Structure 1
Amino acid sequence: MFFRNLTLFRFPTTLDFSQLDSLLAETPLKPVGALELSSRGFISPFGRDSEELSHRIGDSIWLTMGGEDKILPSSVVNDLLGKKLAEIEQKEGRKPGGRTRKRIKEDLVHELLPRAFVKPSRIDALLDLEHGFVAVDSSSRKGAENVVSEIRHAMGSFPALPLNAEVAPRAILTGWIAGEPLPEGLALGEECELKDAMDGGAVVKCQNQDLQGDEIAKHLEAGKQVTRLALTLDDHLSFVLGEDLIVRKLKFLDGAVDQLENTEREDLRAELDARFALMSGEVKRLFVVLESALKLSKAES
């Protein structure tokens, strides 16, 4: 259940979550309807066998947005549409106009939807009430915003906004591999992406490389700036931080995971509890480091 990506949003720490469980119960995931393309709602973080729609340990809350999407390939629709149009042209001796094409296509979609396969999905989110942030396990900004929108829909009001850095993230990341001191606990990894300062300029992607070596230094001298940078935190986490402030390729290293292996637990639920407690604590530590280093703005109450 460890998150693999973090798209972060901030919300006021004054928000009241005391009624969260009852509010989530009013917006559960419903089966996608026969004529619907998709459905969204909350499901239990613990899977189908549990009815809990949230799980809280201390100031950390675990939510899961579930989804069901109909799989209706456009190639199938277009193939049937082509056959229908050909039949009309042969019968009437003319090509159907744009409105007719649109109507026939809509009719085909409605005809096919009830027979389409359904693809289930889930996206997990961590709410930290102490620091006022929500971390969504997605590298897609749009996907993460959909989760925040569902929380807002359930609560009636949820003024969460994407992170805002008061300093340019690109400048900070570039400075770190140029030799400026990193925040305590952070260390450089072996991956980065550099871009020319001009839009449409060259892009260089480096992996398994000494980021403070001569080759990288030459790119910096040529004016390239860092837009993604691999980092580690206290040998507990490794990740790639982008100038868009999305944390990608998040991994929990031995320094963190060893804490789980040294403790015996009786069942799967206890194991998930322990993993969530560990993960939420590590993500909180990472957020605090990034908040200070990037001067992240606080959400207004």
Structure 2
Amino acid sequence: MWFKNLQLYRLPQGWAAEAESFEQQLARLPLQDCGATDPRSLGWVAPRDGGSLLHSVNQQWLIALGVEDKLLPASIVKRLASERAREIEETDGRRIGRRELRELQEQMTLELLPRAFIRRRTTFAWIDRGNGWLLVDAASPAKAEEVLEHLRRSLDSLPAKVVKPLQSPSAAMTGWVAAGEAPAGFTLDQDLELRSSEKATVRYANHSLDGDEIRQHIADGKVVTRLAMTWNDRISFVLNDLLQIKRLAFLDILKEQSESQAEDADERFDIDFTLMAGEVAQLLADLMAALGGEAPAA
């Protein structure tokens, strides 16, 4: 159980929920199989096969949102609707208008949905009760908001908010690269993206950040919008200007530690989750400190 991305949300100090009550509320909206004419279905699933909807280890909670989508390309619907329209025109001797064509497309969608393939995906979320974090393993904000929206529908209350640091990530990263020095506990890696106010973008991959060329881009007004970093030689990641953490990678020593301690799959799952939670909590504490701390709630 190792997250690959982090979308960060803050739970207010003092927010509390009992595990039993929390799980009962999740059970209000579990994942149901897609109906014959349903384009999608979403709901809570067990994070671990055969487990409960809420996986709890000490102060750490893990939940999972399952999503089923019917795969029905719009191009196929349009093509079949056009063929049906052509048949009607030839049979009835009349021209099909736009409104009727849209109705034919809707009709074809309903006819095809029961036969469409279903794609299932799972998005994990982790609640760090001790440190007040809600973290979603999603590459895009849209998928993270999907989890939060379903949580709000399921729970009596979820006062989660987007995290806002005192210093913007872009300004901080630009300063680190310009100075050639990372904040305490971090090192700068070799992936970088800079952008101008006119949206002109320069990207570097596997490239040293020490050259004059990069500093000249900054002098010309470009700011850093994405930067690869490593924390304490234990976790590498990419930070962007929206405070999203991507390409999260835990060094092999952590995974080897889990393998050496676990006796079976269930124990391995819990050890992985516990190790990840402890390491990421420290990483986030150091990162927020490097960004000047969090802005006070409005």
TM-score by structure 1 length? 0.93
- In structure 2, C-alpha distance between the alignment counterparts of 1:2 and 1:299, rounded to whole Å: 30
1:235 and 2:233 are equivalent in the alignment: yes
Partner of 2:281: 284
Query: What is the identity percentage for the equivalent residue pairs of Structure 1 and Structure 2?
Result: 37
- In structure 2, C-alpha distance between the alignment counterparts of 1:180 and 1:290, rounded to whole Å: 17
- In structure 2, C-alpha distance between the alignment counterparts of 1:24 and 1:298, rounded to whole Å: 30
Listed one character per residue, the Cα deviations across residues 231-271 of structure 1 (whole Å, up to 9, x for unaligned) are: 0001110000000111011100134334224x332210000
Determine if contact 2:82/2:101 at 8 Å carries over to the other structure: no
Cα drift, residue 285 of structure 1: 1.1
- In structure 2, C-alpha distance between the alignment counterparts of 1:212 and 1:132, rounded to whole Å: 37
Partner of 1:13: 13
- In structure 1, C-alpha distance between the alignment counterparts of 2:159 and 2:175, rounded to whole Å: 33
Cα drift, residue 33 of structure 1: 1.0
Cα drift, residue 84 of structure 1: 0.9
Listed one character per residue, the Cα deviations across residues 76-97 of structure 1 (whole Å, up to 9, x for unaligned) are: 1111111011112222333212
Q: Which runs of 5+ in 2 are unaligned?
A: none
Matches for 1:1-301 after TM superposition, within 5 Å: 1-18=1-18, 19-47=21-49, 50-179=50-179, 181-196=181-196, 198-200=197-199, 202-261=200-259, 263-294=260-291, 295-297=293-295
Over 3 Å counting, the alpha-carbon distance change for 1:30 and 1:279 in structure 2 is same
Q: Which amino acid aligns with 1:278?
A: L
Determine if contact 2:181/2:188 at 8 Å carries over to the other structure: no
Tell me how large the CA RMSD over aligned residues is. 1.6
- In structure 1, C-alpha distance between the alignment counterparts of 2:296 and 2:29, rounded to whole Å: 29
Cα drift, residue 160 of structure 1: 1.3
Over 3 Å counting, the alpha-carbon distance change for 1:276 and 1:299 in structure 2 is farther
- In structure 1, C-alpha distance between the alignment counterparts of 2:238 and 2:226, rounded to whole Å: 6
Q: Which amino acid aligns with 1:216?
A: I
Determine if contact 2:180/2:210 at 8 Å carries over to the other structure: no
- For the residue of structure 2 that corresponds to 1:279, the secondary structure is helix
- In structure 1, C-alpha distance between the alignment counterparts of 2:47 and 2:76, rounded to whole Å: 35
Cα drift, residue 181 of structure 1: 4.9
Range moving further from structure 2, 135-144 or 263-272:
263-272
- In structure 2, C-alpha distance between the alignment counterparts of 1:219 and 1:252, rounded to whole Å: 31
Cα drift, residue 180 of structure 1: 6.7
Cα drift, residue 299 of structure 1: 5.3
- For the residue of structure 2 that corresponds to 1:77, the secondary structure is helix
- For the residue of structure 2 that corresponds to 1:269, the secondary structure is helix
Q: Which amino acid aligns with 2:28?
A: E
- In structure 2, C-alpha distance between the alignment counterparts of 1:183 and 1:20, rounded to whole Å: 38
- In structure 1, C-alpha distance between the alignment counterparts of 2:217 and 2:133, rounded to whole Å: 35
Cα drift, residue 153 of structure 1: 1.3
- For the residue of structure 1 that corresponds to 2:179, the secondary structure is coil
- For the residue of structure 2 that corresponds to 1:178, the secondary structure is helix
Determine if contact 1:290/1:296 at 8 Å carries over to the other structure: no
- In structure 1, C-alpha distance between the alignment counterparts of 2:282 and 2:95, rounded to whole Å: 64
- For the residue of structure 2 that corresponds to 1:239, the secondary structure is strand
Listed one character per residue, the Cα deviations across residues 145-186 of structure 1 (whole Å, up to 9, x for unaligned) are: 001111111113212122222222211000011117533211
Determine if contact 1:12/1:299 at 8 Å carries over to the other structure: no
Q: Which amino acid aligns with 2:23?
A: D
- In structure 2, C-alpha distance between the alignment counterparts of 1:186 and 1:35, rounded to whole Å: 51
